[in-house]
Amino acid sequence: MKEMEDQKTSKTISFMKLREFMRNPDVTPLEKCVIVDLLLYAGSAGEAYPSLDTVGRDLADLRGK
């Protein structure tokens, strides 16, 4: 039962950690975009498995290509 609880909590978004990540000057803008893109795919389910091609297209759309 404890293992199931740990799995459940591991899928929640910590907005404090997200804020810390987004404000980290060592993280590039591109890396931040990838994380936000994955979070959008994950939604409330907390899991995201887009292909590299899908993420690449999403990022290309951001760059206007």
How confident is the model at residue 47, as a pLDDT? 84
What is the tally of structural domains in the chain?
A: 1
State the pLDDT confidence band at 13, using cuts at 50, 70 and 90.
confident
Give the other-Cβ count within 10 Å of 37's Cβ. 17
In Å, what is the CA distance from 45 to each residue of 9, 21, 54? 12, 21, 19
pLDDT of residue 22: 95
**Structure pTM?**
0.68
Residue 8: its pLDDT value, please?
54
Q: Write the pLDDT tens digit of every residue in 34-58.
A: 999 998 888 877 788 999 999 999 8
Domain membership of residue 24 as a residue range: 2-63
Supply the mean pLDDT for the chain.
82
State how far the Cα of 55 lies from the Cα of 49, in Å rounded to an integer.
Answer: 10
